[in-house]
Each structure stands twice: as structure tokens, then as C-alpha cells.
Amino acid sequence: MINAQWPKWVSEARVGNRKGGTLMRPKTPSSPYFGWDSDDWPEVTRSLLAQQPLSGETLVEAVLSSWRSIFESTLGSGFRIGVDIRPSPQIMGFLLHALIPLELAVGDPNWRADAKAAEKDLVYQPDFRYSIEIKTSSHRDQIFGNRSFGVDNPGNGKKAKDGYYVAVNFEKWGDVPAGLPRIRLIRYGWLDHTDWIAQASQTGQQSSLPAIVANTQLLTLYSAN
């Protein structure tokens, strides 16, 4: 409910400040944001997060722990990422994406990683409504979906694109003059499939979020700066 007494982590989650962005598609009646002015969207997001069985504190610790474990692990004859190997952002994102559900499942067996294409990345077994899609990106503050996210398909035959999302932005190797790259941002919220905007070109492979959506529907739980 709007103006409810949120858990502390929900109350302290911050609205973003990204500027510009593409035009927004209208909300549909199935959206929890439908009928609300965009000024009220942060509070709608807080009400959705307040219902989540996965707390912000637990989520942030799982993300940071997963990131640390990437650099603490060894490969082959004792080779280490960040010392002997510098994987591409795509591989770093893949590792982080795979580790987060595993870390959360260790702490709470109600959570598990997806087992089939129709499932979200992080499955809440007692109630699938609270399952979560995970997006990782080496961009400073944006996340991206493939082009199918930006067309009018809420998930027919595949996973539904409406629902809870975790967005994690991390540094690339070239972003830091010395030391290891860090997690930049951890955001948590809700996105509708109509929030994604596909690239205009038919050959474009990405979709992205308008600034107003990213700022108000994905609230910041953690920032490195």
C-alpha cells in the first residue's frame, strides 16, 4: 500500500538520477503502475519491494559475495581472475549472473537458479510471483535486454518479462587504473514488458529502459560512489 510503513531497507532505497532516454510506452491495465502519476512510481516500487521475501540486505550481500568469489577462485594450475586472466565484460557478467542465485540458495533453500527457459533467473519456489530476473551490465548505469524484450510479447512460450528485477552494474578492467573492478550499482524493483524499448532498426539486437523507468522502478540499494 502507498504510504505504508516500509522495512528500513525499502525506505532507504534511492531513486535514480539518469537523464534523457527514449520515449516511454504507455502503461497497460495489468501494470502495478497503471493509473499512477510517474511522480508516485517510486512509492509503487517500494510497495512492491515491501512484499518481497528477498530483503535488500540479503540481496546486496549475495551480489557482493558473488563478485568477491570471482576473484578469490582459482582456475587450471592455480590461475586467478584479475591476476592471470582478465575475462571480457560478457564473461564477468555471466559469472556474476550464475553465482547470485547459487549464493542465495545456500542461505535460503526456498530460492534456486532457473531450471528451464520459462523460469526467471532466480526462482522463489513457494510462490513463483516473487521470482526475479537478473540483469548485469558493465555500463555505468544502464541495463539492456535483447530485442525481444522491447516487442509486445509478455513471455509467450518463454519466461514472462513482467515482474521483479535485480540490476547490477560493474566496472570493466579499463575503468580502474589499479586494483580490481568493483560493483558500481545494485538496484531492485519491478519492470513491465512494455517498459523495454527495442532499437528502432530491425537489425538492432538490444532493448533499453527510458530514464524515468530506470530511475523510479529500479531503486538503488548500493552504490560504490
**Residue-level pLDDT at 155:** 47
**Domain limits for position 195:** 40-223
Which residues of the chain have a pLDDT value below 50?
Answer: 154-157, 203-204
Within-domain flag for 24? no
**Residue-level pLDDT at 159:** 75
Q: What is the CATH number of the domain that holds 94?
A: 3.40.600
Q: Per-residue pLDDT tens for 130-171?
A: 999 999 999 999 998 875 555 555 444 467 889 999 999 999
Within-domain flag for 163? yes
Q: Which residues lie below 8 Å from residue 123, measured CB to CB, with a gap of 6+?
A: 101, 111, 112, 113, 114, 115, 131
Within-domain flag for 4? no
Within-domain flag for 5? no
**Residue-level pLDDT at 179:** 84
Within-domain flag for 211? yes
Q: Per-residue pLDDT tens for 1-13?
A: 555 689 999 999 9
The total number of structural domains in the chain stands at 1
Within-domain flag for 153? yes
The reply to whether the predicted model has a pTM over 0.95 is no
Within-domain flag for 219? yes
Within-domain flag for 195? yes
